[in-house]
Amino acid sequence: MEFSKKEIITSAWNILKPNLGLMVLVIVFIFSLNLILGIVQDRLLQDVTLQSILFTVAAYLFQMGLNLGMLRICLNLIYNKDGDFSQLFGSFHLLIPYLLASLITLSILLLVAAPGIILLLSSISSDLDMLQAAETWGGVSTTIPVLIIIIPLVYISLRLQFYDYFLVDGESNIVEAVKKSMAITKGYVMELFLLGAVMSIIVLVSIIPLGAGLFISIPLATMVNTYVYQKLKRAN
């Protein structure tokens, strides 16, 4: 399958452009709500109580539900269906499957990073002689373990990045969503990495005009991800 970054970004933009108003409204709403919840959490967490803990948990769950709703809107737009602001609140029933799938994903990431973490911890010995030696060759001794942690984490993260799309798409259960994400990304890791790098640069550049560009770059980045998901799924 051809994986052209230019074609993907252009196609995603063409889908986003007639629906830009909707997506900007969604981003503004989510950003404003997160800001309000953040302020309330900061005040509540000044004194840690059961009430403050429950509010914080509820706030995080609500934010997750909105993020799933945004994916639902993007998927509808990709599938040439009507997108509507109310769809932002239509995926809260997926919170438990999403949390469980995220837990599985996190477990996999920890598993692949474990060898590097163990090696890193062993290189940072509590023994005084080892610490003194680290002053001279510590950079070398920690670089390899860090690479052994980062490289597998990036690789597996790229392979697993679409599990939430499969859940929202309504085609898969928790385990199947993780497996299908691994399946459709096989052989496209480098392309996904480079595309992610390009989109990261676009998002960073959009911050320059007082952050206003984020209201376009974030919807574009989400739409690009959604378009790639659909493209890879059709190719499998």
**Residue 206 · residue 217 · CB < 8 Å:** yes
* pLDDT (average), residues 179-204: 95
**Residue 74 · residue 226 · CB < 8 Å:** yes
pTM of the model: 0.88
Write down the mean pLDDT value for the chain: 88
Q: How many domains does the chain have?
A: 1
**Domain around 200:** 5-235
| 185 or 120, greater pLDDT | 185
Distance CA 31, CA 42 (A): 16
Q: Longest Cα pair distance anywhere in the chain, in angstroms? A: 66
pLDDT digits (tens, 9 = 90+) for 113-165: 999 888 878 776 544 455 444 444 445 567 888 889 999 999 999 999 999 99
Which pLDDT value is given to residue 134? 46
- Token pair in block for residue 208: 């320059």
What are the distances in angstroms from CA 156 to CA 111, 143, 149, 201, 203? 10, 20, 11, 22, 23
* pLDDT (average), residues 101-112: 96
% pLDDT > 70, the chain: 92
All residues at 6 or more sequence positions from 95 whose CB lies less than 8 Å from its CB, including other chains: 61, 64, 65, 68
